[in-house]
């Protein structure tokens, strides 16, 4: 088996796995969107709580569709030795790679700006929707329970909120003890941090894992682009369209 044939076979197998994985993810996304109740029964209550963070159905559909497209382009492009499909595969991977790098740079360089944007969105949502809209309340309750935090910045995010107006107290997550009413004095004396700081701390504690996963994904994307270009150049050299 020649070098080109080996690369071609590996490209086909790799993208076939991506295609099948994307198809499975797409199927799960459709299942969740169409019949979320039966899906929640399968995955259990703990995972069901985690699903409150994002609309898992649409998220899986979007990611699955992209993976299916990439798998199809890469697999068929290598198998049929199609320059058009290979260059489309390369272009999509390149766009994804550039977007990831740009997002990482923005997150590192403009972290304070990103924080202000998040605060501008999160604080008004807490004040107006927490305690009145069940989906928003569930998301924040799950977040504050898992991260052991209070609000976005701290308990002051709930001052003057709809929740405080109706309960005349802060959420129990904002106080050290959940057995008594979480009034202003108890919230002020509490050492519970805001969820944004807790999230940053969690990311820092798992920086090696997050960095390793990010590096692995980037390495796979670079390898995919290199292999697709090797195949493209070989096909172009031999005059195959």
**Mean pLDDT over all residues of the chain?**
80
d(CA 137, CA 122): 12
Which residues fall within 8 angstroms of residue 74, CB to CB, at 6 or more apart?
11, 12, 14, 15, 18, 85, 86, 89, 224, 228
Distance separating the N- and C-terminal Cα atoms of the chain: 23
- Tell which wins on pLDDT, 39 or 190: 190
What per-residue confidence (pLDDT) applies to 37?
A: 57
Average pLDDT, integer, range 160-177: 86
Please say if the pLDDT value at position 46 is more than 70: no
Please say if the pLDDT value at position 116 is more than 50: yes
Please say if the pLDDT value at position 237 is more than 80: no
For residues 82-105, one letter each, b for 16 or more C-beta atoms within 10 angstroms of the residue's C-beta and e for the rest, the string is: bbebbebbbebbeeebeeeeeeee
Whole-model pTM?
0.62
Average pLDDT, integer, range 45-52: 45
181 pLDDT band (50/70/90 cuts)? confident
Measured in degrees and rounded to the nearest 5, phi and psi for residue 22 equal: -65, -40
- The residue among 83, 72, 78, 93 whose CA lies nearest residue 225 is 93
- Tell which wins on pLDDT, 22 or 178: 22
- The residue among 109, 79, 105, 118 whose CA lies nearest residue 240 is 79
Average pLDDT, integer, range 33-53: 52
- Tell which wins on pLDDT, 241 or 209: 209
Average pLDDT, integer, range 86-114: 82
CA dihedral angle for residue 72, residue 76, residue 78, residue 82, rounded to 10 degrees: -120
């Amino acid at each position: 088996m020649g070098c080109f044939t080996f690369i071609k076979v590996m490209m086909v197998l790799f993208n076939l796995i991506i295609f099948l994985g994307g198809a499975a993810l797409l199927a799960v996304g459709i299942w969740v969107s169409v019949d979320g109740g039966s899906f929640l029964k399968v995955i259990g209550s703990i995972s069901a709580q985690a699903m409150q963070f994002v609309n898992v159905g649409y998220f899986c559909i979007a990611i699955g569709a992209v993976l299916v497209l990439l798998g199809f382009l890469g697999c068929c492009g290598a198998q049929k030795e199609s320059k058009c499909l290979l260059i489309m595969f390369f272009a999509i991977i390149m766009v994804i790679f550039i977007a990831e790098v740009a997002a990482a740079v923005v997150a590192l360089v403009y972290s304070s700006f990103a924080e202000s944007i998040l605060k501008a969105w999160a604080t008004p949502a807490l004040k107006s929707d927490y305690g009145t809209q069940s989906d928003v309340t569930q998301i924040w309750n799950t977040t504050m329970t898992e991260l052991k935090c209070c609000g976005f910045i701290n308990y002051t995010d709930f001052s003057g909120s709809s929740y405080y107006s109706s309960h005349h107290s802060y959420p129990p997550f904002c106080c050290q003890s959940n057995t008594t009413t979480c009034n202003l004095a108890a919230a002020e004396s509490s050492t519970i941090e805001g969820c944004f700081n807790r999230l940053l701390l969690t990311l820092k504690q798992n920086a090696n894992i997050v960095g390793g996963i990010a590096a692995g994904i980037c390495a796979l994307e670079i390898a995919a682009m290199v292999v697709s270009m090797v195949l493209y150049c070989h096909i172009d050299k031999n005059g195959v369209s």
